Every structure is written in structure tokens, then in C-alpha cells.
Amino acid sequence: MKSFFSDIKYNKPWQLIFACIITGIITICGFSTSIKAAEIDFPFYPGEKLTFQLKWSLIPAGKAVLEVLPMETIDGIKSYHFVMTAKTNSFVDIFYKYRSRIDAYTDIKMTHSILYKKKQRVGSKKKEVTVNFNWGKTNFTT
């Protein structure tokens, strides 16, 4: 039984050297990719903030903000803290008042949610939600 490589013939020594170099480069690139995957470098840091102007067609309607707050420890787990706030402006408040704040906490590897809190007001209705994720017991509580 012949192997796939037994049919490959190198007429000149430089072809063999070239094949070895290419194989080495591919191998090194493969290892460096797996090493980089282990070192997680996130594209955001505490203190970063994104502010969005909300519009309803051409009418300014409000503002939304996404923030990365300083890291916190939640239930003994070091966590990133993300906040999203959104609110309508005073003109839109006359018709449809909206206020919302969402706090989300995730482990530093960004693989698990730790805590989620939402405080929302739409018109005269208010709603608060808190979800604690317990990955050790594989459950969550609200």
C-alpha cells in the first residue's frame, strides 16, 4: 500500500527545502494561533463609554449609553461590570416616557454571566428584575 507522500518526487534539492520551510511556517502559525487564543485580550477596558443619540425618524428622541465600569467581585468571582442606560428626552417624555438601566456582570474570561439587574420605567409602569446565575449549581434565581 502506497502512502500519499510516496508519489511526490523532488527533482531538485531546493524543492525539498522549500517544502520543509512551508511545513514549518504552517506548523508555527498553528501553534502561535493556539497560544494567542489562550491569552484573551478584550477590545474594551473599564472607563470606556459609548453614547448614542436616539432618533425617531428625524426627531431627536433620547440618549443611550453603554459603559464599562471598574471590575467588581460578585459572590467571590472577579467580574466585569457593564451598564446600559437609555432615556427619552423631555419632548418625547410628554408622549412616551422611557427610562432603563441594565447592569450586567460577567466573569473575567467572558464565558459566564454572573449577575443581571434591570430597572425600567415605561410610562407609569415600573419594573425591576434581578437574576443571579449560579454556575456551580447550574441554576439561576430571580
Which residue stretches of 7-111 are H helix? Answer: 13-38, 90-93
Q: Residue 7 pLDDT > 60, yes or no?
A: no
Classify residue 1: in a domain, yes or no. Answer: no
- Domain hosting 102: range is 49-141
25 plus 74 within the same structural domain? no
Quickly state the pLDDT bin for 99 (edges 50, 70, 90).
Answer: very high
141 vs 66 pLDDT, higher one: 66
Classify residue 19: in a domain, yes or no. Answer: yes
Q: From CA 54, how far away is CA 62, in angstroms rounded? A: 5
Classify residue 44: in a domain, yes or no. Answer: no
Q: Across-strand partners of 123? A: none
Rounded mean pLDDT of 37-62? 82
Q: From CA 93, how far away is CA 74, in angstroms rounded? A: 35
Please give the tally of structural domains in the chain. 2
Residue 65: count other Cβ atoms within 10 Å of its Cβ.
14
Q: Is 64 helix (H, G, I), strand (E, B) or coil?
A: strand
- The pLDDT of residue 98 is 93
Rounded mean pLDDT of 91-97? 90
